[in-house]
Structure 1
Amino acid sequence: MTLDAHGTDLLLIGGRSGAGKSSVGREVAALLRDADVAHAYIEGDALDAVHPAPPGDPDRGAITERNLAALWRNYRELGHTRLVYTNTASVLGSGTALFRSALAPDEPRIVRVLLTASDDTVRLRLTAREQGSELRRQLERSAFMARRLEAGVPRDTVRVPTDDRTVTQVARAVVSAAGWPAS
């Protein structure tokens, strides 16, 4: 198994709803596994899936950080130095403090990848995924986040379009952006 020799690498995969973050994240993990590259994969949305919000933590940022820190500590004890993390807003520069705190004392090299998709592609994907009243809400939120992400990501963020590409093609582009080996 290939371990990273130069320190901790954090690959953030963000994008609007329907851009393919979860599918691409799982495929990145599969490509790395097939290449026998040690890594951990965390679906960021699962870290704050609690209702109601914890007292004093209405945006669930503190519980997200605590859960991420606990998972990373466990993975790090196993020798892992590569983390693939998916979440809509993870690529925004404002989130850097969360990752630096949760992964401390490691000071990771951070690679941000913003998955992009057209409104038509997103509509097709979300229509296949969402049921009932949630579809309209997801489409509106996705359009809002597309604008926010485009305006708020750091300049060094790698943009990877997902329109008319397979999940494997996109995942290979993401792994390449990280500079990691893959099968």
Structure 2
Amino acid sequence: MEKSTVSERNEVLFIGGRSGVGKTSLAAELHYQLSALRIKHAVIEGDNLDLAYPPPWKYGLAEQNLKSIWGNYRALGYRRLIYTNTVSVLHTGDLMRAIGEDSLANAVLLTASDGTARLRLEQREIGAGLETHLERSSQRAAELDERTPAWVNRICTDERPVQELAAEVLALLNWNETP
């Protein structure tokens, strides 16, 4: 079987970062800007691929679901994917196997101060989950800072409008043309 050409290869952007850093907002803005440019792409929110209790992480359910969902997009001709998940930048190998190993990977780790994350989470979370999110967000920030590979681009979101962040990420991707 012949290897796929660059134009047939998947191009994937992994967006990772602590809770409250702006992953979902950035993905939505990237979607808006790419749509305005008429660039074909898909967005998958990875946190929803294995959101269950008890957590099914040890079974690789997120990767299995990603493979299925991305396969559906691929069948329709999609080649560019924006994938958000808190720890996606730590698991790009497993995620790339689910997407298709003959893919081009880009990744950004979004960072934010504790104060920024707290403010955003206070605006977003209602009910009993706020304190849990704040605690986990702080723990994840330390873990991501320590374990994220050097090839991943780090972008601070403190006091930056999402449109500016999206423009910076699009410049990294060079997705201005149809593959």
Letter of the 2:131 partner, please give it. Answer: R
Q: Which residue of the partner structure matches residue 115 of structure 2?
A: 120
Letter of the 1:124 partner, please give it. Answer: L
TM-score by length of 2: 0.89
Query: In structure 2, the residue corresponding to 1:164 is in which secondary structure?
Result: coil
Q: Where do 5+ consecutive residues of structure 2 fail to align?
A: 1-5
Q: Which residue of the partner structure matches residue 124 of structure 2?
A: 129
Q: Which residue of the partner structure matches residue 7 of structure 2?
A: 5
Q: Which residue of the partner structure matches residue 95 of structure 2?
A: 99
Aligned residues: 172
Maintained 8 Å contact 1:10/1:110: yes
Q: Which residue of the partner structure matches residue 47 of structure 2?
A: 45
Task: Work out the CA distance in 2 between the residues paired with 1:175 and 1:86.
Answer: 15
Identity rate of aligned residues, in percent?
Answer: 42
**Coordinate RMSD, CA, aligned:** 1.7
Q: 1:172 aligns with which of 164, 167, 175?
A: 167
Query: In structure 2, the residue corresponding to 1:48 is in which secondary structure?
Result: coil
Task: Work out the CA distance in 2 between the residues paired with 1:61 and 1:179.
Answer: 35
Letter of the 1:86 partner, please give it. Answer: T
Task: Work out the CA distance in 2 between the residues paired with 1:61 and 1:166.
Answer: 38
Q: 1:109 aligns with which of 92, 96, 104?
A: 104
Q: Is 1:68 matched up with 2:66?
A: yes
Task: Work out the CA distance in 2 between the residues paired with 1:173 and 1:136.
Answer: 32
Name segments (4+ residues, structure 1) moved above 3 Å: none
- What is the CA-CA distance between 1:107 and the residue it aligns to? 1.5
Q: Where do 5+ consecutive residues of structure 1 fail to align?
A: none
